[in-house]
Structure 1
Amino acid sequence: MIDIVLVAAVVPTRRGVLEQTLRRFQSGGARVLLACLFDPAELDLPASLAQARWLVGPEDDPSFDRRVRRAEPGRQMWIFAERDGVFRRRGARADVLVALDPRAIHTVWQLAQRNRHADAVYGLTPAANAVQARLANPAHFATRRMLLSMPSPTLAARGVLRSATDRGRGLARRLAGKRIMRTRIGRGIWRTVVTAPGLSDTRRIGLANRVYDSMLRAEQVEAATATAVAVARKVRDTRRRAQLTSRATAAELAQGRVPEHLASVVGSQLSLADECLRRGDAQGAGAAVSTASALLFHRGIHFDVLSSPLVDDPAGFLAPIYHSEVGRALAGCRGRARAAKPPTGRRQRILFITRLNDNFLGEIRARYATHPDCETRYLDLDSDPNTQPLTRRDSAMISHILAGDSAYGHEVTEWLKPHLEWADTIFIDWCAASAALVTLIDPGPTRVIVRLHSYETFTLWPHMVDFSRVDDIIFVSEHLRDLTLRAVPALVGPTAPRARVISNAMELTKLPRPKDAQARFVLGLVGISAVAKDPRWAIEVLRLLRRRDDRYRLVLLGSDINPRASGAAARYLRELEREIGELTPAGAVERWGHVEDVPSALTGIGVILSSSVRESFHCALVEGAASAALPVARDWPFFAGRDHSARTLFPADWVVSTPAEATERIIANTADEAVWREQGAAASRHALTTWDWNVVARDYDRLFFGG
């Protein structure tokens, strides 16, 4: 009897031909196994013609799935096949091995290495010919089976080597396991091994990556980073050294820790960028700058924790950028051919530009859309799927700035130049990608205004904007202006734009509404989706209040912190959830989630809190004050004690330094209903006369029209 194994990775398109061939094999007395990567029922073949075997992988095995995904298409089937014992045994004694499609060829080749007496063919016609040849001369093929009963020598040697390697790897995995990596001695031994002299860069980095990953699994992040940095000192190749330390540093930053070696790691990436720039490789320089930026401005040390090294010492923290060639090139002033010039004899044309976020533009756009002295347009740079990819190519943007010219830059110019030529004034909201893109182009006589909110100061974006092409930069508060001017040297000097402070545009007149008497015991915190909002500070205020009067409760409005943002964010959220869980059973904390009708929600809130560690302005507090809730603002630690802070933005009695001071202010002003209503009314009057859009709009009129 002739034994045949057919292998198919995809459903054959000519099923009729397949069935006809199988019937011929059956009439010749052959036994057939059909192995496939799909459900054999899709072929709808009589069971008598062939034994069908569906090759499947293990359930819920991420490592197997990753192995399949990473393999080339032609090798994927063998990954399934080699773990199937029945298939391997049949393949080892088969007479004819047949690949029915290109993706099955590698699997048949693997079987043929193990079964050298078999005929290995591709397609049904060669298979039929091989079967016919065996039927015609059985003695010849019987002798061939005896002589070629062993697998190929190459395969045998490979098997012995793999077995030895697997044993070695198994031993290495045990010696570098989590249990050993959790001990100081174990970590020290492995650090000695990976930094030992005599290793090639390739061998050292491969071993270091294994040790590094094991330390991370053992939750020894600092040790993993220190080991990677120590190994990097032994690596001769600049690029590989920078890659190794950057990967390690990113893991520590995600935990919210600032590594001692952060400046040197960032510096090594920027040195690599400088090398690329000197040899004319702007693309390589752009990629290295992007990597350095991802470390220096990692959200784990600026956004998902309660402090930031950039605030404490902007010049020191950002020194690696300032002192690098690429940093100086990014901050270079290309200037403009003509100064901005207002139009004469017609209405002013204003173009509002943003990308994705127009939350703070509504009132401004609405006012000037109907203004008799201007004509407006609006451009969201993310709205057109054809040009949207240009806004997401940070590395290409950096490379263009460094080179001074690129195909990418020409694409951006072709896209945005017509908009610049139409406008007399461009108002760019957010000093981020939009501002960097627009200033790649000489604006000519078009006036360019950029508004910076807060987030941008903690990113590379302001260092990529050509401020010699910007006429005015708008800040929403003095303390934000002070910090940004300290962090971005291009904003200071003869080519810097005019720095103005104009409050956010808010319609506050709709907010004052009657409040129920019981609202005076309800504290409101609006916006808790960022660690910087520090809702745990508000929880502490609530605890202190309830020790004196258990009628006080806290309402949380907004979406929760995203635990996937970073390890630091996840850690903060766990602590917050634990504290909320302790107070929820008593009804002390309520979560209202996202609220569409804010004015109605504020009628049930008697005390509005700002618990943040930093804010550029904090619209939610001002809106709460306008609704006649008692405002209690923490003296935001990022800015406390400086020339400008929460204490210079708000009335002095609104601001407190500690939860204890907040408690005293709340008790003093809510214990009596009449006092609470009087204080709320005073806060509302101040908010309406200081920050309502009717007041702030005059500043924007002066911005656009002069005066």
Structure 2
Amino acid sequence: MTDVLLVAGAVPTRPTVLVEALTKLRERGAKVYLACDFDPGRLGGAAELAEIRRLGTAKGPVFSNLVRGATPPVKVWLRASRDRWVREHARSAEVIVALDNNAVHTVWQLAHRNRRADAVFGLTPALKAVDDRLANPIRPGWRAALPSAPSPRLVASDAARRAGAVARLAGLVATGSRAMRIRPVRKMWAVAAAAPGVPERRRAALARRLQASMLNAGQPGSALAMAERVVPLVTDPRTRAELLGPAADRDLAAGRVPASLHDVVEGELARAELLRAGTHPIKAPPVVGRAFDLLFHRVLHFDSLSSPLSDDPEQFLAPLHESAIGRRFASPSGRGAKAEPATGRPPRALFLTGLNDNFLTPIRERYEAMPEVETRSLDMSPGTPVRTFLNNGRAKLIAHRLMGDSKYAREAQELFGPGLEWADTVFVDWCAVPAGLLSLVDPGTTRVVVRLHSFEAFTWWPHLVDFSRVDDLVFVSDHLRDLVVAAVPRLRGPDAPRLHVLTNAMDLRAYPAEKTPDARFTLGLVGISAIAKDPRWAIEVLRLLRAHDERYNLVLVGKEPSADVSAAAKAYCTAFEREVVELEAQGAVRRLGQRDDVPKVLTEVGVILSTSVRESFHCALVEGAASGAVPVVRDWPFFAGRAHSARTVFPDDWVVGTPAEAAARILELTATDDGWREAGRAAAEHALATWDWSVVQPTYDPLFLPPISST
């Protein structure tokens, strides 16, 4: 009788072939044992023809980690080497068979420990080996003369492997989370990780292990201190990002700008490029998303009163623009034809609607009312196919830009293609997800117009839009254009769209109205939902005014900023609430909340404030001015002192630099009723003559109407 040991590391693709081979082995008088690394129930009828053993799962955290990180063939061997049943039958087997690639390494190892056995790969060679032994029993006799023990070389190799395993186990225990709860141990390992002369690969591996253990042990401060000591000794940006990432996350969660932000972003983008160019490109988009989440985190740009992007756009975004990923995003896809209006029929305009249409409606209504223009709207409301496609748009765009042609581009063609084919001009308000996904499609001869507001300038969207497929990019102010052009270098390149500055569409005729008798001493701030509106600045102005005259009061209109979005937002909102409650008790502040009757509310407001740290234009201020309220505009800090700022949007005497200057302007212009009313009339006249839609609307015509022939 011949003992045969089969090893299977993967489920056989055709179990019937295995059953047939086992039947033939039994017919030859062989006793068959089968070790498998999966549920034996998936072997079908093989259980009746062989003694089957499933390899045991790993026990203990150390061995579990060892198995988890191994390749499939090594996993099979690690489990088989710890299985007594396998070892016993391997020693007595005369034929040892690997049934698949994952089992080859295990059979090789077992054959070196039983040199008397034949080791083969596959069922047909197994049958042949058994037949050869039966046909010529003398032939394998020479194997009986071999020692039953493994070769000396293998014994030495095993000893070295076991010694290494013991050393690794000791190292894992010594650097585990339990050990990291002991302060002297943490300090000792931190010194070891930063010791001179350690190869970078080993230093990085040790630092990663220590960081994970310290964090698991609830010692984030020690983890940060260790990483800061090691990072200067590491050159690989990926390792630097991995070590500094937890510290960056911790700073952002606490409402702080991380000192390590650029290092982490640079490393994540380097890792994404390696994944994209390697065997796992599908893993690259989430890593790019992680870099974007850090670079455009709301704490950096929305929940505080400053922004590193505004301070120095080129330097802040250098890790993105200088990376291979950034260059890939900036690479233009181009278009197949130049945008040209059709002739022999009325011009056609397509508007993308259904998201935030606050600033779009007057524009769309103007061209809908023109009999010589044909208009359509592509609805992006919830439940529509376009809205469904827009969901998770950032991930779709990143995947497409990294991996080239994708199903997303084909879906975009299906959704946007008919509209692009019909229209002469497509107008997209907000340079966000619709603009990005629309740029997946070659627009042909259709003109694509995108309008970019302040919000998008501080997000990743302008960096994901393929501007080679956008013909015209519209801004509502010069200072916003300057910021975006500095932040997005390709807007200065040969494939850049034409840049326009066109004022928002505002119907101001509803705002002029007679003021109430008490309006002269009432300050109004309309729209306070964002921390960038900085309503605390208005509180400071109010305190200065009330020190002169307690008749001054403040009306706050709109939804208040949310404290739940970040620690930075919570800190601001807590301070704001404390100040407002104090002044409410004195009757100096009223909160009206969200109102639909703003023109009526403004009849009670004699001074309209713009207290923001940044604005693209500030429609609420202009509406207040149109109502006859005296405008007082803070010199928005994000843009103050630059070539274009609040001072180039509004008359210079409207703009102030400090709360003290604001209080001085208000005290001067409200000193008498006649003086206040005259200042309000002048402001209303300027607002209506400069920004009312009746004045502004012709500036939009070149985007939608063909040029008038001079002949």
Question: Same fold by TM (over 0.5)?
Answer: yes
What's the counterpart of residue 364 of structure 1? 363
Contact 1:225 1:249 in 2 (8 A): no
Q: Is 2:270 the counterpart of 1:271?
A: yes
C-alpha distance 565-188 of structure 1, shift in aligned 2 (>3 A):
farther
* 1:568-607 equivalence runs, <5 A: 568-607=568-607
Give how far 1:467 is off. 1.1
* Inter-partner Cα distance in structure 2 for 1:429 and 1:328: 26
Deviation for aligned residue 1:194: 7.6
Q: 1:270–1:324: 8 Å Cα contact kept in structure 2?
A: yes
Does structure 2 conserve the Cα–Cα contact (< 8 Å) formed by 1:556 and 1:589? yes
| TM-score using structure 2 length | 0.70
Letter of the 1:531 partner, please give it.
I
Q: What SS does the aligned partner of 1:345 have?
A: coil
- The total of aligned residue pairs comes to 531
Corresponding residue of 2:644: 644
- Alignment partners' CA distance in 1, 2:578 and 2:225: 32
2:329 paired residue number:
330
Deviation by residue 1:231-259 (Cα, 9 ceiling, x = unmatched): 67899998786455334313312433222
1:208 aligns with 2:211: yes
1:427 equivalent in structure 2: 427
Q: Residues of 2 paired with 1:213 and 1:170: CA distance?
A: 6
Q: Distance in 1 between matches of 2:512 and 2:176?
A: 70
Greater displacement, 609-618 / 396-405: 396-405
Superimposed CA distance per residue, residues 661-700 of structure 1 (whole angstroms, 9 cap, x where no aligned partner): 0001000111211111111011001101111111111111
- Superposed CA deviations along residues 475-499 of structure 1, whole A, max 9, x for unmatched, are 0000101111111111112211110
Seen in structure 2, the aligned counterparts of structure 1 residues 381 and 669 have a Cα distance that, compared at 3 Å, is same
Alignment match, 2:403: 403
Q: Is the 8 A contact 1:266 1:292 kept in 2?
A: yes
**What aligned pairs does 1:72-471 form with structure 2 within 5 A after superposition?**
175=182, 192=191, 205=208, 208-209=211-212, 211-212=214-215, 225=224, 227-228=226-227, 242-243=241-242, 245-279=244-278, 281-354=280-353, 356-384=355-383, 386-391=385-390, 392-471=392-471
**Structure 1 residues 599 and 530, CA gap change in structure 2 (3 angstroms):** same
C-alpha distance after superposition, 1:151-209 (max 9, x if no partner)? xxxxxxxxxxxxxx99x999769658xxxxxxxx9996785588788989788646524
Aligned counterparts of 1:681 and 1:195: Cα–Cα separation in 2: 70
What SS does the aligned partner of 2:613 have?
coil
Confirm whether residue 481 of structure 1 aligns to residue 484 of structure 2.
Answer: no
The residue type equivalent to 2:617 in the other structure is F
- After superposition, the CA RMSD in angstroms is 2.9
How far 1:315 moved relative to its partner?
Answer: 1.1
Distance 1:419 1:383 in 2: 19
Matched to 2:283, the amino acid is: G
Unaligned runs of 5+ in 1: 1-164, 177-184
* Cα distance in 2 for residues equivalent to 1:194 and 1:187: 11
CA contact (8 A) 2:177 2:216 kept: no
CA–CA distance in structure 2, aligned partners of residues 530 and 193 of structure 1: 47
1:612 aligns with 612
Tell me: CA distance 1:309–1:698, structure 2 relative to 1, closer, same or farther (3 Å). same
Distance in 2 separating the partners of 1:406 and 1:694: 45
Q: Which residue of structure 1 lines up, in the alignment, with residue 510 of structure 2?
A: 510
Quick one: structure 1 residues 212 and 671, their matched pair in 2 at CA, closer, same or farther if it must change by over 3 Å? farther
Q: Which has the larger radius of gyration?
A: 2
The residue aligned with 1:658 is 658
Bigger drift between 358-367 and 505-514 goes to 358-367
Q: Which amino acid aligns with 1:339?
A: K
Q: CA deviation at 1:306?
A: 1.0
Q: Which amino acid aligns with 1:609?
A: L
CA positional deviation for 1:441: 0.8
Aligned with 2:337: secondary structure? coil
CA distance in 1, matches of 2:380, 2:675: 50
Are 1:340 and 1:447, in contact at CA under 8 Å, matched by a contact in 2?
yes
CA deviation profile, 1:131-153 (whole Å, cap 9, x unmatched) = xxxxxxxxxxxxxxxxxxxxxxx
Structure 2 regions of 5+ residues with no counterpart? 1-171
3-state secondary structure, aligned to 2:474: strand
Given that 2:382 and 2:388 are in contact with CA atoms closer than 8 Å, whether structure 1 keeps it comes out as no
CA separation in 2, counterparts of 1:186 and 1:571? 37
The alpha-carbon distance between structure 1 residues 247 and 497, as it changes in their structure 2 partners (threshold 3 A), is same
Instruction: Report Cα offsets for 1:591-612 as digits up to 9, x if no partner.
Output: 1111111111111111100000
Q: Which letter maps to 1:390?
A: F
Q: What letter matches 1:376 in structure 2?
A: T
Identity of aligned residues (%): 53
State yes or no: 1:547 paired with 2:547.
yes
**What do residues 571-599 of structure 1 show as CA deviations (whole Å, max 9, x unaligned)?**
11111112112222101111111111111
Letter of the structure 2 residue corresponding to residue 600 of structure 1: K
Matched-pair contact (CA < 8 Å) for 1:443–1:469: yes
> Which stretch shifts more, 281-290 or 413-422?
281-290
Q: In the aligned structure 2, how far is the partner of 1:346 from the partner of 1:496?
A: 29
CA distance in 1: counterparts of 2:403 and 2:485, whole angstroms? 26
Does structure 2 retain, via aligned residues, the 8 Å contact 1:212–1:228? no
Offset at residue 615 of structure 1 (A): 0.3
Secondary structure of 1:436's partner?
helix
Partner SS, residue 284 of structure 1: helix
Distance in 1 of aligned mates of 2:224 and 2:671: 54
**Alignment partners' CA distance in 1, 2:177 and 2:301:** 41
Structure 1 distance, partners of 2:185, 2:504, is 56
CA separation of 1:373 and 1:247: change in aligned 2, threshold 3 A: farther
Query: Corresponding residue for 1:534?
Result: 534
**Structure 2: distance between partners of 1:411 and 1:656:** 51
**What SS class does the counterpart of residue 605 from structure 2 fall into?**
coil
How far apart, in 2, do the equivalents of 1:647 and 1:257 lie? 31
SS state at 1:295 partner? helix
Instruction: Report the Cα distance in structure 2 between the residues aligned to 1:282 and 1:382, rounded to whole angstroms.
Output: 33
* Counterparts of 2:187 and 2:614, CA distance in 1: 40
Give, in whole Å, the separation in 1 of the partners of 2:224 and 2:362.
48
User: Aligned partner of 1:694: which letter?
Assistant: S
Distance 1:514 1:209, change over 3 A: farther
The C-alpha deviation readout for 1:527-561, integer Å capped at 9, x for no partner, is 11111111111110001000000111111111111
Q: In 1, Cα distance between the equivalents of 2:266 and 2:241?
A: 9
Q: In structure 2, how many angstroms separate the alpha carbons of the residues matched to 1:550 and 1:169?
A: 65
* Aligned equivalent of 1:624: 624
Alpha-carbon displacement from aligned partner over 1:82-102 (angstroms, at most 9, x marks no partner)? xxxxxxxxxxxxxxxxxxxxx
Distance, in Å, in 1 between the alignment partners of 2:395 and 2:181 is: 41
CA distance in 1: counterparts of 2:401 and 2:586, whole angstroms: 58
* CA–CA separation in structure 2 for the residues paired with 1:408 and 1:234: 42
Once the two structures are superposed, the pairs formed by residues 668-687 of structure 1 within 5 Å of their partners are: 668-687=668-687
SS of 2:465's partner is coil
Report matched runs for 1:488-499 at 5 Å: 488-499=488-499
Matches of 1:327 and 1:511 in 2, distance apart?
A: 46
In 1, Cα distance between the equivalents of 2:420 and 2:229?
51
How far does the alpha carbon of each residue in 1:599-643 deviate from its partner, in whole angstroms, 9 at most, with x for none? 111111111000001000000100000000010000001111111
Tell me which amino acid in the other structure corresponds to 1:604. Answer: E
Q: Deviations over 1:239-290 (max 9, x none)?
A: 7864553343133124332222211110000111121232264432222211
Q: Is the 8 A contact 1:343 1:424 kept in 2?
A: yes
Query: Structure 2 vs 1, CA of residues 349 and 282 (structure 1 numbering), >3 Å: closer, same or farther?
Result: farther
SS in 2 for 1:272: helix
| 8 A contact 1:282–1:399 mirrored in 2 | no
Q: Report what 2:43 is aligned to.
A: none
Instruction: In structure 2, give the amino acid aligned to 1:581.
Output: V
